[in-house]
Amino acid sequence: MNTNVYNVSIIGASGYAGAELVRILLSHPNAKLAALSSVSYTGQSIAELYPSYRNICEQILVSEEDAIEKGDVVFASLPHGLSQEIALECDRKGKLFIDLGADFRLDDGEIYTEWYGKDYIYPELHAKSVYGLSEIYRDKIKKATIIGNPGCYPTSVALALYPAIKNNLVKADDFIVDSKSGVTGAGKGLTQKTHFPECNEAFSPYNIGKHRHTPEIEQTLSHFAGNSVRITFVPHLLPVNRGIISTVYAENISGLTVEDIRAIYARTYEDEYFIRVLPSGEVANLKNVRMSNFCDISIHEDRHTSKLIIVSAIDNMVKGAAGQAVQNMNIALGINERAGIDFVPPAI
């Protein structure tokens, strides 16, 4: 097992996912925070932006160029369209690059342009990048130098459906996905819908039928199935800071009982520490994964309609963002995969 210590830089450290990376990496035995970068707050201390880091980490935010130069590993937590130049520079300098944004998640540049309004400007970089769904693509991640960290909703949905699709338990052409996310999923920038009076004591869907994670989810599920998969995806905004709960509805074509299906899920994930298949009768709850890298999955059925109902819960800031990014770093560098992310969820 690799016990080396690596210099790590975070570009976009002032955002929520970037700040979560800081929190995780401060306790990582194989990582030293070499540089933190923010275009908007260059010259300020990270502790000025996030006072919880006072006397723990008071690094001054530097330029992107400085961050790239100082890091053996470079994380980018930026809006879409801003990571490709950074990836190019890291690739030239032989640095491991992990993108928490959307720029390296989709295989097809035309689909990226359709949904994000940007272009793939370095096709050769996208050809060598690896989609970082840690438990599923571990072998590819081990060899990767550019990793596209999955989105939060796509992580919850992919882990929920992987055993069902791979074992031909469900009709793998059309799924209904009903997901709910905490407000941090919308990012740090304030909008009308994330303004406190609008989201507190409220609950509503948003971007119905047009959320940008739709093609990413369909791409991943299609890879699992070996054929084109379409989804009806409806996200909702929960009046909580953290967490994603996804409920997926699928047609059970296996003829198996829900208990048999649950056993298949348990066998599929039996060696995956961060995925917990819950006992029969329990329901995945975001409360039980909060502040952790765990994904809890529960299996249910609607006998009246022969529908299999899979519920998954993750912390959108950890397993859905910074935690999975660090897990991917660990895999790529040959470090203990649980290093730095082996958090126990709070009991209350």
Catalytic residues: 152
The β-bridge relationship of strands 174-181 and 244-251 is antiparallel
Quick check: 124 and 113 in contact, CB under 8 A? no
Residues in Cβ contact with 133 at an 8 Å cutoff, skipping those fewer than 6 apart: 150, 155, 158, 159, 220, 324
Quick check: 262 and 277 in contact, CB under 8 A? yes
Answer left, alpha or beta for residue 162, where phi above 0 means left and psi between -120 and 50 means alpha: alpha
Burial 150-165 (b: 16+ CB within 10 A, else e): bbbbbbbbbbbbbbbb
Q: What share of the chain is helix, strand, coil (3-state, %, to 5)?
A: 35, 20, 45
Q: Give the separation between CA 294 and CA 309, rounded to whole angstroms.
A: 20
323-333 and 16-25 helices, crossing angle to 10°: 50
Q: Give the separation between CA 118 and CA 114, rounded to whole angstroms.
A: 8
Quick check: 152 and 133 in contact, CB under 8 A? no
DSSP state of 61: P
Beta bridge partners of 170: 252
Q: Give the separation between CA 70 and CA 72, rounded to whole angstroms.
A: 7
Residue 116 tokens read as 């994000």
How many helices and strands in the chain, by DSSP H and E? 12, 13
